[in-house]
A and B are shown apart, each in its own frame.
Chain A
Amino acid sequence: MDKKFSTNALHFIDRVDGVQKVTGAAKYSAEYDFPGLVYAVLTGSTIAKGSIVDMDTKAAENAPGVLAVVTHLNSPELPGYKKTAIQANVPETKRGYHVFTDNIIRFNGQPVALTIANTYERAVYAASLVKTKYKEEEHQTDLDAAIKNGKALEGNPYKDYVRGEPDAWKNSEVKIEAEYRMPLEVHNPMEIHAITVVWEGEEKVTVYEKTQTLKTTQQNIMRAFGLKEENVRVITQFVGGAFGSAFNTWPHSMAALIGARKIGKPLKLMLARSQMFTLVGYRPQAIQKINMGATKDGKLTGITHEATAMTSSYQEFTEGIVNASRSLYTCPNVTTRYKVYPLDLSQPTWMRGPGETTGAYALESAMDELADALHLDPIEFRLRNYAETDLENNKPYSSKFLKEAYQLGAEKIKWQDRNPEPRSMKEGDWMIGYGTGTGTFGAWRGDAKVAARLLPDGTLILQSGVTDMGPGTATAMTKLASDIFGISPRNIKFEMGDSNLPPGPFQGGSGTTSSLGTAVHNVCVNMKKKLADLIKDNSIFHTEIVHTVKPEDLLFEDGYMILASDHSKKISYGDALKDAGMKQLELLESSDGNPMNGYSAFSYAVHFVKLMVHAATGVIKIARVVSAVDAGKIVNESTAESQIIGAVVGGIGMSLMEEGVVDHRYGRWVNNNFADYHVAVQADVPHIEVLFVNKPDPILNPIGSKGMGEVGLVGFAAAVSNAVYHATGKRIRELPITPDKLI
């Protein structure tokens, strides 16, 4: 990557937990062991809609090693799951689904029984013996059919948005109309969801749970079981990827808690890979229509973006599919409409770049189509409609370096050398295409607390109740603290992953670094002040002109306070502590939510893709990717680069192969395994070059960082789709773009 980074000597530090991860010392939620640990396995329904008429669990109960089989017939009524009068007033589509509380089947694969045995294999076998008799009802899992015959949800999130004249694109000089389809995409992080539960009596529990949010998990368990906060401890030391799948406390986790309390033993539940397709959410399928118009010289005059997506029958789910269309470009007339249809499938959820990724696929494909219709270079077209202010909210941007990102990326991939004519570039049997797509995602800052403890040996211990699903949170925070506090990263210990620690932010929405980083920044700055206070009158710093040292007279470097005016005068942090007779210096600091007063904040990514389409067979090979990112100031270069690379790899899967397939006759998955549901393999991934603008955002937080985990995926699928058009002259408006669509 380009070394265009400012200020600090070290642009990055290695992952502080890297050795633990590669040696297997890092413990994930399925890897905790306790004396007497038992194993639980869920049996899923084989119908999509209806009710359970009868269950026969005898064979399972009598199987070797089985301790209990929990079903809706014998599951205890939890205080938080009671059917209250209020619940009755909540529409069916918002009631949620609480495991084992009734006999209603809402989706195929819904847990109907939890079988607990003394080994995993015995639990798996016994779970297969559970016999369930269903009364089937007609189900609907097909979005197209639901649009035709069903009814969209109503309510506030579905309000139409109109700026200027509605549907103004119709009167434009040059216009396009297009419909884009994105299939359902499933969450399948490497680490399968798992939970280990240890009850002490019936009122106190410790869970080792795969989660992106310790606090919410703790609250969910407290509420469901009616427990006190101090009696629910959630531990998540490591997460092997989550991408949004680990925000909810899913039914399988509640089932494990119920089962473990029932039998009074520590219990572990791991999902099977096939269950990952139904029990931990997914990116909902979406059909999007974009109508767009511009003047002949390429000024946007109207955008209408209509999105239709899906949710489950029991829980409304909406996301920002149409948001970017309102503010990414400067267009006076914008109309957005968003409809959501309930289907008899399990609950969708956040998935990397939620909403924006789906929306940008359509918006950025349409931008390419309109640029083509205008005979304009796609980058030039975007620059002609560059938004200097957020027209949706009528606010200035806290920072926006998207122009710089266009320039960085275009130069790197030599965009100007491409022949703009579709189907004009060739290498042997391969047609060559270049495409681009822009991504945007909101930047923000939330609440977070960090406790700091400085020890006489110079070690700084930082603690926060946050989890790290992979981006390297502890590493970034260590780097940040090292830079601000002026000590070696080796002398910093960042402790996290425990709800007993001061509450950190949830990990998601690209807000961890901004939120937690602010608290780390504050704690380090104030710790320096406290240290300076300790040595105010210290004779070490006495010179002719300095009698009382103020913090601003000092440099804080390499673990020393150094007199700025005379570098020979210095004292180590540890000695300062010892001299003051202190065993440690403690501090608790917060980041207090969003300080955006009057600004809009976004991160940006511009993806450039070079790909090859085999003329005879339709096979696509991505040859090169350049992603240029404005995510504010980069805290730790290497892990930041990895985040974008990871997003791009996900984007390759999204654009070329990922598609969740349900056989609508049965409302049942047909490709719920890794052989049939394709994600990119190593051989599909070319060299990915990541460039950062790396300019600080002056408003969002004191570290100048915006978010980047989400934005790295947003706009990528459009870049691929646009490159396919450039290579072949064919617009494929449906993902994934598989060889059969190009032949």
Chain B
Amino acid sequence: MINFEYTRVSSVKAAIDVLAKNPTGSFIAGGTNLIDLMKRGVTAPSRLIDINNLPLKQIEETKTGLSIGALVINSDVEENDIVQKKYPLLAMALKAGASAQLRNMATVGGNIMQRTRCTYFHDTAMPCNKREPGSGCGALQGYNRMHAIFGASDKCIAVHPSDMCIALAALDATVHISGPKGERKILFTNFHRLPGDTPGKDNTLLKGEIIAGVTIPENNFIKNIYYLKIRDRASYAFALVSVAAALELSGETVKNVRLAMGGVAHKPWRLTEAEKFLTGKRVSKETFIQAAEIAMKGAKAYGHNNFKLKMAPAAIVEALMKAAG
């Protein structure tokens, strides 16, 4: 780890100002990801701007839904009464993430901003276009068991590791951003990006901006939801494949549905075509299997992750079955 400077700020404006003066600096909140990256030499911010004192720690019900500050820790979101009652998919996804210790440190904003767990990204002696543009993708022909089957490029096949984000993508959340030019918001599904030719950029956050929080519109996905996470051990493991499934049923008929997957793409992967197919259909395993087939269109595996072509559709069906109850 190299030397760095440290500033603690207590307002969003101050945070933005300090970052503007230190363009090679980095915000730090829980630090559960950033510190690891700094230790391994993957990133070396000149200044850490500690934002833990910013007033972004509220979970509030609004007229249109729920607002969660960027600095609320994952475990507080998961245990929040409103979240548990009205947004149980989010609670379930959070509980599937990381370990209790990490959830007690990690913030909502940090979770959204976490970098990929791709091993080639993490080892500075290996090639990685995300870490060092032009050095090549070590994973493409390497050990890519954890890697993408959707939306990858020949420059990068890394996946976004979050569980929380999969639920937020499914729930049509919005990311609220503050920056030097004021505030803006962006649909959660548009926040993260695909690697394309510039895998160095994980998301659409602009230089100098900070995430202030997320909002989730009100919904009726309360009874028939499920977050399925398939992983190599029962806790503290990233998803091989995960599925966030939310159904609004009218009798046996699907009135409204949301599906998103984790562990399969550079961003939370919304299954919009499958959602369209399912809407208005009667609940049945056969229908879910057809939806999974639709969802898998365009999937491509890279060797060690070939199993995901079988596991992903099985997971979609299973998550929908569980959600349907």
Contacts and interface: CB of A to CB of B under 8 A. Distances in A.
B230 A670 contact: no
B233 A665 contact: no
Contacts of B307: 740-741, 743
A397 B186 CA distance: 75
A128 B310 CA distance: 43
Contacts of B56: none
B79 interface: no
B230 A682 contact: no
B277 interface: no
B145 to A, nearest CB: 8
Contacts of A661: 143
Contacts of B119: 670-671, 676
A670 B143 contact: yes
A657 B125 CA distance: 26
A213 B21 CA distance: 57
Most buried by A among B145, B232, B240: B232
Nearest to A738: B232
Given A124-B1, A619-B230, A676-B117, A668 B235 contact: no
Contacts, number: 86
B269 to A, nearest CB: 18
Interface string A656-668: 1100010101101
A618 B312 CA distance: 12
B234 A125 contact: no
A680 interface: yes
A736 B238 CA distance: 17
Contact of A678 (B138, B141, B232): B232
Contact of A121 (B1, B142, B237): B1
Given A616-B314, A665-B142, A740-B311, A125 B236 contact: no
A682 B235 contact: yes
Interface pairs A-B: 8 shortest CB-CB: A683-B234, A740-B307, A46-B125, A616-B318, A683-B235, A670-B119, A670-B143, A684-B234
Given A670-B123, A740-B307, A741-B307, 7 more contacts: A125-B3, A656-B232, A663-B143, A681-B233, A681-B236, A743-B307, A743-B310
B315 interface: yes
Contacts of A681: 99, 233-236
A681 B145 CA distance: 21
B41 interface: yes
Nearest to B241: A617
Interface of B: 1-3, 41, 99, 117, 119-120, 122-123, 125-126, 138, 141-143, 145, 228, 230-238, 240, 307-308, 310-311, 314-315, 317-318, 321
Nearest to A616: B318
A320 interface: no
17 contacts: A46-B125, A616-B315, A618-B311, A619-B230, A656-B232, A666-B125, A668-B126, A670-B119, A670-B120, A670-B142, A675-B238, A678-B232, A681-B99, A681-B235, A683-B235, A684-B233, A740-B145
A656 B142 contact: no
A621 interface: yes
Given A657-B233, A663-B142, A683-B235, A125 B2 contact: yes
B105 to A, nearest CB: 15
A741 B311 CA distance: 10
B317 A616 contact: yes
A617 B138 contact: no
B1 A680 contact: no
Contacts of B143: 661, 663, 670-671
A313 to B, nearest CB: 20
A743 B311 contact: yes
Nearest to B321: A616
Contact of A125 (B1, B230, B235, B318): B1
A668 B311 contact: no
A666 B141 CA distance: 12
Interface in A722-743: 736, 738-741, 743
Nearest to A666: B126
Given A124-B1, A668-B123, A681-B235, A739 B311 contact: yes
A619 B315 CA distance: 11
Nearest to A661: B143
A366 B241 CA distance: 33
A740 B3 CA distance: 43
Interface string A673-700: 1011010111110000000000000000
A661 B145 CA distance: 11
A283 to B, nearest CB: 19
B318 A621 contact: no
Contacts of B126: 663, 666, 668, 670
A617 B125 contact: no
Nearest to B305: A740
A128 B123 contact: no
B232 A128 contact: no
B221 to A, nearest CB: 22
A686 B141 CA distance: 38
Contacts of B311: 617-618, 739-740, 743
Contacts of A656: 232-233
Contacts of A683: 233-235
B34 to A, nearest CB: 15
A657 B232 contact: yes
Contacts of A741: 307
Contacts of B125: 46, 666, 668
A18 B99 CA distance: 27
